[in-house]
Structure 1
Amino acid sequence: MVEGAERVARVWAHMAVNFERGGSPAYAEIARGVVADAELVGLVMSLPVGDKRQPNLLLGAVRYLGGPVSSFEVWRAFVVEQWERVAGVVMARSTQTNEVRRCATLLPVLARLPGPLALIEVGASAGLCLYPDRYRYSFDGAVPLGAGSGPVLECATEGGVPVPERVPQVVWRAGIDLNPLVAGDEGDVRWLEALIWPGEQERARRERLRGAAAVVAGEAPVMVAGDLLEELPGVVARAPRGATVVVLHSAVGE
């Protein structure tokens, strides 16, 4: 392999381990298959260097188009046969996962801040994590906290986490993203669904996503397209007076 091909193979090999650990044996099998397949590595290398070569982006594009994940062989056949369509989705989209359950990890901090709150999320995707006051929370199996219409978010705690007794009052919310998605747009929601890894947790994650998207679609936040370093000062200035401005970001490390 040339140097570029070796790097592509290393990235997919690394992701195979992550997929296995993350409860997606189907994706782990596919990733291992890509590592050993010179033709597929070549197709990945035909994409622009950088984010467009991310495994999650290619895998999401295949699922967005209805491609199979039952085995590496059938996945490979779909990719090779439909490469122009797959590459088109890759070029048009970005990896923008929006796991709303991350709100459960933010709530203990948000609930302790003086309210009301004005939330600004950087890297907001469709803004699903801007609505912590609209979801319900079950910490360590307890009766759900909150009276929102959104999904129940379950969370296990360790080490004396200050489990909140209330949800915060949020009076304003805004998101910044290079390519913001719209929770009320079916194509954008389908794209977020396509980014969910197949596995035992897939159905629950899809249900949470759909439930949260319905909440956000009913009351869309302020969404700004652009670089956070350039846009953040202006967005902060738009927050209502008297509110505690909270700039947040939710991410999952590999």
Structure 2
Amino acid sequence: MYGETAPHPSLGGRVSWLWEQVAEKDGTQLVVPDAAVDLIWGPDGLHVAGPDTGPMPTAMRAGDTYLGIRFHPGAAGLTFGVSLEALRDQRVPIAQLDGPLRELQDSLERGPGIAELTTEGAARRDAVRQAMLNAVVRRWRETPEPDTAAPAIATALRAGRSVSGVAWDLGFSERQLHRRSLASFGYSPKILQRIVRFQRALRLARAGRPLAEVAVESGYADQAHLANDVRRLSGVTMSTLIN
């Protein structure tokens, strides 16, 4: 079971959605790159899922419960006290990070475990989720706002603009764009471009569009280019991802 909830409007500029997942059987879930960062409470405690550059298979046992906060790409900032580049392709327990959310980790450890949430019901899950949000908002008050150019960078790259064209449009040198992209997304502009293009293609394919059209509309040279990039980023074929 998986579900998403829209955040309070006051969080909408930085949080995409709140999500909850309960594994219905033992297995492995494939997580693919999407330029986002999540704060997750699961069976192993509170951790950060950093920005991915490749597939991240996640083993789950039946009944495992996860609560998550999904940040907009480019909106996490210094919420976790380290650069997003340092979190790239990592799943890092909050206990291993310096300070900012350790108090939340300690508080959650004193309460019922994540495995008990399904039996305790929605009220307990909502309380945990609210505690996570409160800690994040407190942290935001202590850190600089995210780069205001981040949404424009992602939007332009998703639309198929070249890295040099995006830099020109935004009035940056390519070196400035590279630095700001690393700080905002944990990726270089070239890697970010590949990931947002892949995600656009995935959305179109899931909507039922023929793959040849998906390739053209997403900015790939041809369908073979699309297939190769999907395999590099996800480890599987597009048909596997959408079925």
Which TM-score tier does this pair reach, normalised by the shorter chain? under 0.3
Higher relative contact order structure (alpha carbons within 8 Å, sequence separation ≥ 6): 1
Q: Looking at CA atoms only, which structure, 1 or 2, has the larger radius of gyration?
A: 1
Give the structure with the larger strand fraction.
Answer: 2
Output the TM-score relative to the length of structure 2.
0.24
